[in-house]
Amino acid sequence: MRAILPGMSEVEWRTSRDPVPYPEAVAEMERRAAAIRAGDATEMVWLLEHRALYTAGTGADERDLLLPDFLPVYRTGRGGKLTYHGPGQRVAYVMLDLQRRGGDLRRFVRDLEEWIIRALARLGVRGERRAGRVGIWVAQPGGGDAKIAAIGVRVRRWVSYHGISINVAPDLTHYRGIVPCGIAEHGVTSLAVEGAAADMAALDAALRATFDEVFGFSVVAAKAETRD
C-alpha cells in the first residue's frame, strides 16, 4: 500500500441507485473536479449506471459507429474511442487530485487497471492486461480474449474525472452498434457470462475492499442516492 501523502484528503464514496442521465453525470463531475482543484471538496468515487447509450471519446473514429441510429451517442472529453454504457454495467467515476498523489498519469491508469483486476479476482474472475489494448480482458476457453472492463479518463489541471466501467450483466447485444474501443478482433463479456455468482452489490463491495489496497487512502463517507 502506498503511503498517504501529506495533506491528502480522504475520499467520498457515492452510489446512485437509479440510472443517471449522461449529460448530468458529466456536469456533476466537472463541478466536483473544479471544487477539488479549489480545495472546496474532497476527492470522490461515484458508482452509478446509465441508460443504454454510446459515448465517443477524443480518439473516436466515425467508422467504428456501425449503427448510428441504434442508441444515443454522446461526444465526451474523456480519452479513448467508442464505448457502451447501460443497465447492468457498473460505472465508477474517479475524481482524484493527482498532483497531490505524485503527478504520474501513467501510474494512475495502471492503478485503475490494478483496481479492476483485484476486484474481479475477489469475484472469481481472472482479469488481465493486454499489451497495446486498453481495458481489462478475460481469456476465453476456445482461445482469444473478451473485454470485461473499459477505462477512459480525463485529467484537467491534475484532477481526474470519468473513469472505468465493468460489465456485470448488461445486454451485450447492445455492443453490436459499435466497434468497442476500436478493437474488432475480440469480443466482450461480463461477470454473468463468465459464471461469476456476483451482482452489482457484490461488485461494489469488491471495488470498495480493493480501493485502499491500490490507491493507498481510506474512504471517509458513503452516500447512497435515489433519483426522483
Domain membership of residue 184 (yes or no) is yes
Q: Find the length of the chain.
A: 228
SS3 93: strand
Domain membership of residue 5 (yes or no) is no
Lowest mean pLDDT among 3-12, 64-73, 121-130, 146-155: 3-12
Q: Catalytic: 181?
A: yes
Domain membership of residue 176 (yes or no) is yes
Domain membership of residue 209 (yes or no) is yes
Task: Compute the average pLDDT of residues 122-139.
Answer: 94
Domain membership of residue 1 (yes or no) is no
- Integer Cα distance of 94 and 186 in angstroms: 27
Give the start-end residues of each E strand in 34-102.
43-48, 53-56, 73-75, 82-85, 89-95
Domain that holds residue 82: 11-225
- Which helix (H) or strand (E) segment holds residue 130: the answer is strand 128-130
Q: Do the beta carbons of residue 59 and residue 180 sit within 8 Å?
A: no
CATH number at residue 63: 3.30.930.10
**For residue 198, which amino acid is it?**
A
Nearest to 53 by CA among 29, 99, 89, 18: 89
Which residues are 138's β-sheet partners?
Answer: 146
Domain membership of residue 126 (yes or no) is yes
Strands 145-156 and 187-188, how do they pair?
A: parallel
Task: Compute the average pLDDT of residues 113-123.
Answer: 98
**How confident is the prediction for the chain on average, in pLDDT?**
90
Domain membership of residue 25 (yes or no) is yes
- Three state DSSP letters for 152-218: EEEEECCEEEEEEEEECCCCHHHHHHECHHHCCCCEECCCCCCCCCCCHHHHHHHHHHHHHHHHCCC
Q: Which of 48, 92, 136, 181 is catalytic?
A: 181
Q: Which residue has the cell 476486484?
A: 119
Q: What is the pLDDT of residues 160-208, one digit of tens each?
A: 999 999 999 999 999 999 988 777 778 899 999 999 989 999 999 999 9
- Flag whether the pTM goes above 0.85: yes
Count structural domains, the chain.
Answer: 1
Domain membership of residue 171 (yes or no) is yes
